[in-house]
Amino acid sequence: MDSKKIQTMSGRGIPLPGNDIDTDRIIPARFMKCVTFDELGQYLFYDARYNADQSPKVHPLNQPQYKGGSILIVNRNFGCGSSREHAPQSILRYGIKALVGESFAEIFAGNCTALGIPAVRAESKDIESLMRAVEEKPELELSLDLVNQKLVWQWGSIAVSLSEQFRAALTQGLWDVTTELLSGEEETKKVSRKLPYMNQFNPVL
The tens place of each residue's pLDDT in the chain, 205 residues long, gives 457 899 999 999 999 999 999 999 999 999 988 888 989 999 999 999 999 999 999 999 999 999 999 999 999 999 999 888 999 999 999 999 999 999 999 999 999 999 999 999 999 999 999 999 999 999 999 999 999 999 999 999 999 999 999 999 999 999 887 666 666 678 777 887 788 777 765 555 4
Question: Residue 66 — φ and ψ, nearest 5°?
Answer: -105, 5
Q: What is the pLDDT of residue 200?
A: 65
Q: Quick one: 2-176 is in which CATH superfamily?
A: Aconitase, domain 4 (3.20.19.10)
H-run or E-run covering 198: none
Cα atoms in the Cβ-side hemisphere of radius 13 Å centred on 42: 5
- Each domain of the chain, given as residue ranges in start order, spans 2-176
Q: What is the pLDDT of residue 34?
A: 82
Q: Are β-strands 141-145 and 8-15 bridged in parallel, bridged antiparallel, or unpaired?
A: antiparallel
Q: What is the pLDDT of residue 1?
A: 41
Q: What is the pLDDT of residue 193?
A: 79
Q: What is the pLDDT of residue 185?
A: 72
User: What is the C-alpha to C-alpha distance for residues 100 and 119, in angstroms, rounded to an integer?
Assistant: 6
